[in-house]
Amino acid sequence: MPEAKIAPSILAGDFGNLSSECKRMMHNGADWLHIDIMDGHFVPNLTIGAPVVTCIRGTLPKGESFFDCHMMVSEPERWVEDFAKAGGDLYCFHYEATKDPAALIDKIHAAGMRAGCAIKPATPASVVFELVPKLEMVLVMTVEPGFGGQKFMKDCMPKVEELRTKFPDLDIEVDGGLGPATIDFAADAGANVIVAGTGVFLAEDPKSVIQLLRDTVNKKQLE
């Protein structure tokens, strides 16, 4: 199982001070920054686009920070080049949003980014099995995509278990309702990339929360 990667979701940050919020998370020990891109069509919410990511990247150089771009958008093929130019490191599209995921993965790689594929709570893990050899990551949503602060859906954990059993070396990400109270469920199931929004950004001591999440995942690997 790959090592733990803690990816605070900037959706829970102060959008008026995104660069400083991102720097704050990196200073507190984040491994990745999870950037939620929503188009108001694939999901009923609207967040940011490539121009804002470009601005953030201008204050957090590549090599010093890893941008995990979660594309909750229709026609994710349209935005690959834009996010590559903006400084994205990983482009994670939704399986439900594309007709040709294999071709999209090739396009992402050609643009110089890692490729991830996300699945909604109702989508079975089996849909990505044939894609995994081409992917760097699979994201199992543990809430319905679109809004932060939702309650963790424990019944999504069997999908994580299924993926970990079948693909022991794959980065498996979970996103939605993760924090100190729910991390054990995700770690026990085999997730190693942990997205946490309000659980980290609103914590009195974000550094200790990030470390707790990391330690919980890494400890599970040793059992």
Residues annotated as catalytic (active site), given as ranges? 36, 175
Handedness of CA 197, 201, 203, 207 (dihedral sign): positive
Contact by Cβ (8 Å): 55, 23: no
Reduced to 3 states, what is the DSSP secondary structure of residue 69?
A: strand
Reduced to 3 states, what is the DSSP secondary structure of residue 62?
A: strand
Q: What is the token pair recorded at 109?
A: 């790689």
Contact by Cβ (8 Å): 166, 138: no
Q: Which of 92, 75, 68 is nearest to 41 (CA)?
A: 75
Handedness of CA 197, 140, 193, 77 (dihedral sign): negative
Reduced to 3 states, what is the DSSP secondary structure of residue 56?
A: helix
Q: What is the token pair recorded at 141?
A: 């949503």
207 C-beta neighbours (distance < 10 Å), count: 15
Residue 134 sits at the vertex; the CA angle it makes with 108 and 66, to the nearest 5 degrees, is 50
Tell me how far apart the alpha carbons of residues 115 and 170 are, in angstroms, rounded to a whole number. 12
